[in-house]
């Protein structure tokens, strides 16, 4: 009812679940240092493989480190890397996509030739190649995944611009003497925001999964810094002795992906009038 009062469509149940999950992730990412009961790097060998208890609500890992604290800081790591990567890919992808779609000609041919060459590789495989160059670090992951997913943004934005550039309001902008830059910024770019927002929401989930995969392979955030991916990797040898060590970060990844996908569907429905009741 509140949404209707402000002229906004009401969220469906799936969208509400997505908002709650993503909101909780962002809350944990921002306030993680204050929410975590322990230092995620603190060793306590007397508590090795200790199950859930009053001292360690979700148990302790092979070095006695509190799992809840490590999951919270892992959420902080994943959310920050995903956010920075999405901003990197969307910003550069939007700039290149608008230029290619609006200018056409040789600019379009050259940009799309390079873009199609990057799209020929799976995103994770391309990121692995760039990680070999940049090294295993947070900034390296952000740049590698940003370059890997940027071609998708370029393709989506270019397609949208191609459908907009021939419309009457763009022609009117040219007729009254506006330069190409003014026309792109004032008339073309604002009309690309809807697909960009949907893509950014979906891409956030892709990046969380890719970052976890890279960390699992040992090319992501280097231990002992916690991330959900390297927690899966380091806990794998102890799956029989303490299965919760890998079940918990796996559940965090799965729930986050589910929430992001539900939120992406809700954003798409909200921005597409045809999807609204």
The yes-or-no verdict on residue 276 having pLDDT over 60 is: no
Q: What's the whole-model pTM score? A: 0.86
Helix (H, G, I), strand (E, B) or coil at 227: coil
Question: Cα torsion at 234, 208, 87, 120 (round to 10°)?
Answer: 100
- If pLDDT is split at 50, 70 and 90, which confidence band does 153 have? very high
Q: Domain segments of the chain: what residues?
A: 11-30+59-271
- pLDDT per residue over 179-190, tens digit each? 767 777 777 888
Residue ranges of alpha helices (H) inside the chain are 2-5, 13-35, 67-103, 105-119, 123-134, 138-164, 168-175, 180-183, 193-216, 228-235, 244-271
Helix (H, G, I), strand (E, B) or coil at 60: strand
How confident is the model over 160-168, as a mean pLDDT?
A: 82
- pLDDT per residue over 236-272, tens digit each? 888 888 888 989 999 999 999 999 988 888 887 777 6
11-30+59-271: which CATH topology?
MetI-like fold (1.10.3720)
How confident is the model over 27-48, as a mean pLDDT?
A: 86
Which tokens in the block code for residue 29? 């990412």
Sign for the pseudo-dihedral over CA of 88, 211, 158, 22: negative
pLDDT of residue 274: 52
162 exposure class (CB count in 10 Å sphere: 0-12, 13-18, 19+): middle
């Amino acid at each position: 009812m509140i949404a209707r009062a402000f002229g906004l469509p009401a969220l469906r149940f799936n969208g509400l679940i997505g908002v709650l999950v993503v909101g909780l992730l962002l809350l944990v990412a921002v306030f993680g240092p204050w929410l975590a009961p322990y230092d995620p790097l603190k060793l306590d060998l007397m508590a090795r493989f200790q199950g859930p208890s009053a001292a360690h609500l979700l148990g302790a890992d092979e070095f006695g480190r509190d799992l809840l604290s490590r999951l919270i800081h892992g959420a902080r790591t994943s959310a920050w890397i995903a956010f920075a990567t999405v901003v990197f890919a969307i910003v550069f992808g939007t700039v290149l996509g608008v230029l290619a779609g609006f200018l056409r000609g040789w600019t379009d041919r050259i940009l799309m030739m390079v873009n199609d060459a990057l799209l020929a590789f799976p995103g994770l495989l391309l990121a692995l190649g760039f990680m070999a160059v940049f090294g295993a670090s947070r900034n390296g992951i952000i740049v590698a995944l940003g370059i890997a997913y940027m071609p998708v943004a370029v393709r989506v934005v270019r397609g949208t611009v191609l459908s907009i550039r021939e419309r009457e309001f763009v022609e009117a902008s040219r007729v009254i003497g506006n330069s190409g830059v003014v026309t792109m910024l004032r008339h073309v770019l604002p009309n690309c925001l809807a697909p960009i927002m949907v893509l950014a929401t979906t891409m956030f989930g892709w990046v969380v999964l890719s970052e976890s995969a890279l960390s699992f392979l040992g090319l992501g955030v280097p231990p002992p810094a916690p991330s959900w991916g390297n927690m899966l990797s380091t806990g794998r040898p102890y799956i029989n002795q303490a299965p919760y060590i890998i079940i918990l970060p796996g559940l965090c990844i799965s729930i986050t992906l589910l929430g992001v996908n539900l939120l992406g569907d809700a954003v798409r429905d909200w921005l597409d009038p045809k999807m609204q009741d």
